[in-house]
Amino acid sequence: MTDKRIFVRDLTVGAQVSECFLLAQASKGQARNGPFWTFKLQDATGTIEAKLWSPASLAFEDIPPGQFAIVSGTVTSYRDQPQLNLDALELLGSAPEGIDFGNFLPESEEKPESLYARLEDFLQANIGHAPWRRFCRKVLGDADIRARLMAAPGAKAMHHAYRG
């Protein structure tokens, strides 16, 4: 997978786009001229609504959100908001090889290391039962778990739906 070059913040009306985005939402609709898909495309800089119209939309029966896709199309304006009208959509799955998840998820304003230190302090101050305290230290002391925890979002939506 190549590096991400175009981000949501860079999209301007009239621009031709061929880039990878995270499908944050996907829903199928029906228009007079056939079925269509509406997507919320996401990267670390924001989201943009996208439409895939018939006949291209007929290629997809089901598109679960949470996967990555290479999209091609033109940025237009709909109700004074940018929208991407898609010509093509290539689904890549939820964990394609070589993807840098940091390009697709917003980050906390606070450094992950600072949040991690606060978590350790909280556990030290609030877990009195020695076996549980040892367990937490062991889990949080694992370098692989630490790296994954600091890079993962705290939630899928609503509060803390960002990395860190």
pLDDT digits (tens, 9 = 90+) for 30-42: 999 899 999 999 9
pLDDT at residue number 162? 63
User: Could you tell me if 161 and 88 lie in one domain?
Assistant: no
For the chain, the domain total comes to 2
Can you tell me which residue has the tokens 């002391």? Answer: 141
- Number of other residues whose CB lies within 10 A of the CB of residue 146: 15
User: Could you tell me if 154 and 129 lie in one domain?
Assistant: yes
Domain final position from 99, 122, 146: 99
Strand partners, 130: none
User: Could you tell me if 91 and 72 lie in one domain?
Assistant: yes
Domain final position from 99, 115, 145: 99
User: Could you tell me if 94 and 115 lie in one domain?
Assistant: no
pLDDT digits (tens, 9 = 90+) for 119-148: 889 998 999 999 999 999 999 899 999 888
Pick the closest to residue 57 from 33, 79, 92 (CA basis). Answer: 33
* pLDDT score of 110 more than 90: no
User: Could you tell me if 44 and 21 lie in one domain?
Assistant: yes
Pick the closest to residue 164 from 155, 151, 145 (CA basis). Answer: 151
Mean pLDDT score of the chain? 90
Return the ∠ at Cα 120 (arms to 119 and 121), rounded to 5°. 90
Q: Is the dihedral of CA 110, 2, 88, 78 positive or negative?
A: positive
User: Could you tell me if 88 and 157 lie in one domain?
Assistant: no
User: Could you tell me if 39 and 65 lie in one domain?
Assistant: yes
- Quote the pTM value: 0.74
* DSSP 8-state code for residue 145: H
Residue 32 domain boundaries:
8-99
- Number of other residues whose CB lies within 10 A of the CB of residue 38: 15
Please, which pLDDT band fits residue 160 given cuts at 50, 70 and 90?
A: low
User: Could you tell me if 84 and 66 lie in one domain?
Assistant: yes
User: Could you tell me if 88 and 124 lie in one domain?
Assistant: no
- Strand (E) positions, 13-142? 16-31, 34-43, 46-52, 68-78, 81-93
Count Cα neighbours of 142 within 13 Å in the Cβ-side half-sphere.
9
pLDDT at residue number 142? 94
pLDDT at residue number 2? 60
3 in any annotated domain: no
User: Could you tell me if 123 and 89 lie in one domain?
Assistant: no
Helices (H), 27-129: 112-126
pLDDT digits (tens, 9 = 90+) for 33-84: 899 999 999 999 999 999 999 999 999 999 999 999 999 999 999 999 999 9
150 in any annotated domain: yes
pLDDT digits (tens, 9 = 90+) for 85-102: 999 999 999 989 988 888
